Amino acid sequence: MAPGSPKDLRPLALAGSLLLALACGHTDPFSTPPYGTTQPFNPTPPVQLTLNLGADRSPSWLPDGSGIIYSSQQLGRVDADVCLAELPPTGGTQRRLICDLSRLGTDTNNAIESPTVSVDGRLAFLKATSSIGGTNPSSERLAVASTLDAASAAEVQIVPYAPPGEPTRSGVQALRWLGTGHLIFVGGLATIRRACVTCVLDTIVTGLKVDILDLGGGGPSPLVGTDQASGLAVGSSSDEIYFTLSGDTRIFRRTISTGETQAVHDFGAAGIARDVHVAGGRLTAVVGGRVHFSVDSLLGPVQWDSGGVIHVVDLTTDGDVALAPGARLFRRPALSPAGDQLVAEGYPLIIKPLPVPDTTVSRAGDIFLFTTP
């Protein structure tokens, strides 16, 4: 991406609640195709599904594969909401855009993060609210709606929370449905800080452990043996999960009822694995790229991540294929129910020739579609 392009000039939109402070404009995601189209903005593989001056992220599929939902940063709204958007499975015009979650309307910032839909059609997401221009959310909750109408969602768990005998979790990542009665996610730390006096505010998210929330009552329960979890997926049943650990190149599979855990794939020299997802007999993960695991003097173990390369693994043969990224790094891939396609956040590489030649990664991504091998 050439210097001075729209991506280069976009606000620094980050995963997590800091977006509430940084979001400030929006263009229609599909500026070329006519209204009502099911054709993508750019059909060249990987297929670019959105073109937004703000950030589009956390894509996931509807359980029947009939659509893709994601979080979309809306620049130009007075309240700068991060909204729930829905696309046809092939891309094209948004079918749905839900923004206001507060009865105060545009008097507050609202964010719908990590949306995911259960097999019985319920929507779960992380709901964040702040005052306009605030740098921290005044309220964060896990919320569940009976349909895709996020505005009607009931709050089911406050964030931060502290499981008995465990450190307080101030952030939630990789939100998934575990059957229809439980939510499962990586609970961790979300810290907002500035690396230098002139640097922009940054959100640093560190996974602590996989936690399970029973929607029938009670707080989140930690899953033993998942310390420093960095990614999470539900397998072929609600008794099976896959997860990754910070600084580790392997994918692990756990049978919840027995606690049996085994490494099912090792990416080895390709690099650190994270952002795992499983569907249709395939496993996908982000591997290598711009990622670094270290121990911070204040935060403890931290995995710094600006994205990497998407890999797809056949769970029957263990065959591993890396998808050609082009001039981008990717985060949070999600396989379609059949496993034949996946969507992911794509972040362009930005070349800065002055004062010293350097390549950085945009902090505001778009949604891309791949056909899996």
What pLDDT, in 10s, does the model give residues 26-40?
A: 333 333 344 577 888
Give the closest residue to 57 by CA, choosing from 67, 68, 43: 68
Domains in the chain, please, with CATH? 6-371 (2.120.10.30)
In tens, the pLDDT along 212-223 reads 999 999 999 999
pLDDT of residue 33: 42
With 60 as the cut, is the pLDDT of residue 7 above it?
Answer: no
More confident residue, 2 or 234: 234
Find where tokens 């008794």 sit: 239
Q: Is 280 left (phi over 0), alpha (psi -120 to 50) or beta?
A: left
Question: For all residues of the chain together, what is the average pLDDT?
Answer: 86
In tens, the pLDDT along 47-92 reads 999 988 889 999 999 999 999 999 999 887 887 789 999 999 999 9
In tens, the pLDDT along 176-192 reads 999 999 999 999 998 87
Exposed e or buried b for every residue in 276-297, given b needs 16+ CB within 10 A?
Answer: bbbbbebbbbbbbbbbebeeee
Give the closest residue to 272 by CA, choosing from 318, 308, 322, 314: 308
More confident residue, 29 or 137: 137
Sign of the dihedral through C-alpha 143, 146, 151, 152: negative
Q: Provide the whole-model pTM.
A: 0.87
Exposed e or buried b for every residue in 81-106, given b needs 16+ CB within 10 A?
Answer: bbbbbbbbbebbbbbeebbbbbeeee
In tens, the pLDDT along 344-360 reads 999 998 877 767 766 78
Could you give the 3-state DSSP secondary structure of residue 126?
strand
pLDDT of residue 109: 82
Task: Tell how far CA 127 is from the center of its chain.
Answer: 14
Report yes or no: 34 and 82 within 8 Å, Cβ to Cβ: no
pLDDT of residue 6: 41
